[in-house]
Amino acid sequence: MTLIRKVVFPVAGLGTRMLPATKVLPKEMLPVVDKPIIQYAVEEAAAAGCETFIFVTGRGKTIIEDHFDRAVELFEALAAKGKDDVLGGLSSDVPKPGTVIATRQQEARGLGHAVWCARQLIGDEPFGVMLVDDLIHAETPCMAQMARAHAETGGNLVAVMEVPQEHTARYGIVDPGREDGPLVEVKGLVEKPAPEAAPSRYAVIGRYILDSAVFGHLDRHEVGAGGEIQLTDAMEKLIGSQPFFGYRFAGRRFDCGDKLGYLEAIVATALARPDLGADFAAVLDQYR
Ligand code: G1P
């Protein structure tokens, strides 16, 4: 397994698709059952061996940092009440001191720009990028699957899944070459192509393992689809000079940035919980 020591979480987005819930609350803090969406991503990164969690935040997002800090008063109150089980769970959720870093994306200039904001914190080593909206249920967490595959491929690896042709304009789409098990050679990448222009139905999902050479391209601040600096465009420039593969991960992805996807994530997560699943299934039966 390649050790992905650092993972970047771009969390500066406005979350307009989930208004009015996100007027004050960062979309990453919306709960899926009883955990904020971002905590699932942080746990997935930790399971892949991540040692440094880099949040690229924006104005109004400081409660994300607070969430990953010790809540002293709460912890003391729980200890005083003898609620050691709750306290134990909360304490183990807090990353080790010094492992969370937050930096600001000072202008909303796109995903490529957000990742570029972390360049000084990454330096010269392969690193992960996780888009928190994409919640993935998997037996082996998606990022760990990818870290394992990356040990074989080196270079750059992006999670991919097949999407309906009519949805290609929502994603970065791969121009695929040779396929070998879960690996799909990436010959090209296009950000949000119209269905008739899409080179395939392989969409990039929000999990990336990238070579730091991508920063050399992001440095140019070239504007792409939607008038934004696109990570897809910078990645596309690495193709040919470095290995570049799509990884068809085993698991199920939910788009929590979309109302229906978010609702489905809640239902699927609740049904999969040993402490809630059976009772929740009985509740759902009443709505059939
Ligand atoms: C971003 C990326 C896109 C990728 C998608 C995955 O788009 O730009 O290439 O396919 O995430 O969720 P966004 O959803 O931010 O518009």
pLDDT tens digits for range 35-50: 999 999 999 999 999 9
CATH number of the domain bearing residue 225: 3.90.550.10
H or E element that contains 281: helix 277-285
Question: Nearest CA to 39 among 9, 17, 3, 2?
Answer: 9
Tell which atom from ligand 1 comes closest to the C-alpha of 170: 16
1 is a domain residue? no
Tokens of 171: 């994603």
pTM: 0.96
CA 176 – CA 245 distance, rounded (Å): 9
165 is a domain residue? yes
36 is a domain residue? yes
Pocket test for ligand 1, best of 27, 105, 133, 170 (most atoms within 8 A of CB): 170
pLDDT tens digits for range 134-182: 999 999 999 999 999 999 999 999 999 999 999 999 999 999 999 999 9
Nearest C-alpha to atom 10 of ligand 1 is from which residue?
171
Tell which atom from ligand 1 comes closest to the C-alpha of 226: 16
Range of the domain at 242: 6-285
183 is a domain residue? yes
123 is a domain residue? yes
CA 150 – CA 182 distance, rounded (Å): 12
Percent of the chain past pLDDT 70, that is, above it, reads: 100
Q: Residue 54 phi/psi, 5° resolution?
A: -110, 110
- pLDDT for 93 equals 85
197 is a domain residue? yes
Do residues 159 and 147 make contact, with C-beta atoms less than 8 angstroms apart? no
Q: Is 7 left (phi over 0), alpha (psi -120 to 50) or beta?
A: beta
Residue ranges in 25-117 assigned as alpha helix (H): 37-47, 62-67, 72-80, 84-93, 111-116
Domain count across the chain: 1
In the reported structure, the alpha carbon of residue 212 is separated from the centroid of ligand 1 by a whole-number distance in angstroms of 20
Nearest C-alpha to atom 1 of ligand 1 is from which residue?
171
